[in-house]
Amino acid sequence: MLLGPALGVSAALFTLGVFGVLLRRNAIVIFMCVELMLNAVNLTFVALAQQLGVAGQLFVLFVMAVAAAEAAVGLAIILAIFRHRGTVDLQNINLLKG
């Protein structure tokens, strides 16, 4: 019940996150889009857990824990970049250029 709409919402959220990551330049926004994708996946897990058992719900807890840790590390990195270069615009961060 309501599986189809739930998966549809989560797909829409995930696509939103992907496009955000692809198109936005601000590292903070990209970071938020990544969180969006994670939560879209969480929604899928919860929705499918109704049919496939409690393991999906359990997984959501793991994802949330990892996402929290990732948020701490990711924000710290973004802060360090800001201190170092005075901007968080990824357009200007191109040390990997070949």
Partner 1 sequence: MPISAPGALWVVPALPLLGFLVNGALALWRPTAKTAVSVVGVGVLVLACAAAVVAVAGFAGLHPAAPLVLRYWEWMPVGDLRIDFALQLDQLSAVMVLVVTGVGALIHVFSVGYMHEDAGYARYFAYLNLFVFFMLVLVLGASFPVMFVGWEGVGLCSYLLIGYWFNEQINADAGKKAFIVNRIGDVGFLIAMFLIFRATGSLDFGPVFARAAAVFTPAGATVTAVTLFLFLGCTGKSAQIPLFTWLPDAMQGPTPVSALIHAATMVTAGVYLVARCNVLFALSPLGSATVAGVGALTALFAATIALKQWDLKRVLAYSTISQLGYMFLGVGTGAYAAGIFHLVTHAFFKALLFLGSGSVIHAMHDAYHLTHAHDDAQDMRNMGGLRRYLPWTATLMWIATLAIAGIPPLSGFFSKDEILGAAFALGTAEPVWLVYWAMGMAAALLTAFYMTRLMLYTFHGPNRTGERERAHLHEAPWVMTGPLVVLGALSLAGGVLNLPELVGGKPWLEHWLEPVTALADRMRPVVELSPVVEWTLVGGAVLVAALGMVGAVRLLRPEALVAARLAPPETGLGRLLWKKWYVDEIYDAVIVRPVQWLTREVLWKTIDVRLVDGLLVNGSATTSRALGWLGSRLQTGQVGFYVALFVVGVLVVVGAALH
Q: Nearer Cβ to partner 1, position 21 or 63?
A: 21
Query: What backbone phi and psi angles, to 5 degrees, belong to 42?
Result: -55, -40
Q: Nearer Cβ to partner 1, position 24 or 50?
A: 24
Asked if 33 and 67 count as a contact pair (C-beta separation under 8 A), the reply is no
Residue 87 identity (one-letter amino acid): T
Q: Nearer Cβ to partner 1, position 16 or 57?
A: 16
Minimum distance from residue 77 beta carbon to partner 1 (Å) = 12
Asked if 2 and 9 count as a contact pair (C-beta separation under 8 A), the reply is no
Minimum distance from residue 30 beta carbon to partner 1 (Å) = 8
Name residue 26's beta-bridge partners.
89
Rounded-to-integer distance, Cα 16 and Cα 30, Å: 11
Minimum distance from residue 7 beta carbon to partner 1 (Å) = 16
List the structure tokens of 86: 């005075």
Q: Nearer Cβ to partner 1, position 9 or 18?
A: 18
Minimum distance from residue 60 beta carbon to partner 1 (Å) = 22
Residues of this chain that interact with partner 1 (CB under 8 A) are 18, 21-23, 25, 90-91, 93-98
